[in-house]
Amino acid sequence: MKKAPDFNLEDQNGNLKSLKDYAGKWIVLYFYPKDNTPGCTKEACNFRDAREQIEIITGAVVIGISKDSVASHKKFAEKYNLPFPLLSDASGEVASRYGALNNFLVIKLAKRYTYLINPQGKIEKIYLSVDTSKHSQEIIDDLKVLKE
């Protein structure tokens, strides 16, 4: 298992968040291309709806990251009542360190990848092919197995 790259990014409320803020917890770190697009909205809302199961049953925290701005994240989180941090990786540096950056010549977007990070800060599982309608349940099922 590889150590998860650290980050220091602002969330939708302008608060700085880093990986070490979540030391000792399971982390569902998901990268997504763009706020307010159909697939990204579906994925975020499914994580929102599964939050109780993810956080209470498995003890994990959910964190979303895209290249969108703090202001864009704030509007997105408020519009869909998203109760977890959305981090702004405007430079794409963090997505790049995780291998989750698409580079379309002039446009760079985060890939739809998810990383399960264990309480010791190591990447336990990587999801490179995400079905937004089933992904949150897949995460819950895998967390239950990994925690045993």
Per DSSP (E only), the strands in 50-146 are 61-66, 86-88, 101-104, 107-110, 114-117, 123-127
Active site residue 40: yes
Tell which residue, 133, 27, 30, 22, has the closest CA to residue 87.
30
For residues 3, 9, 12 and 13, what is the CA-based torsion angle, rounded to 10 degrees? Answer: 120
Identified catalytic residue from 4, 28, 29, 40? 40
| Catalytic residue set | 40
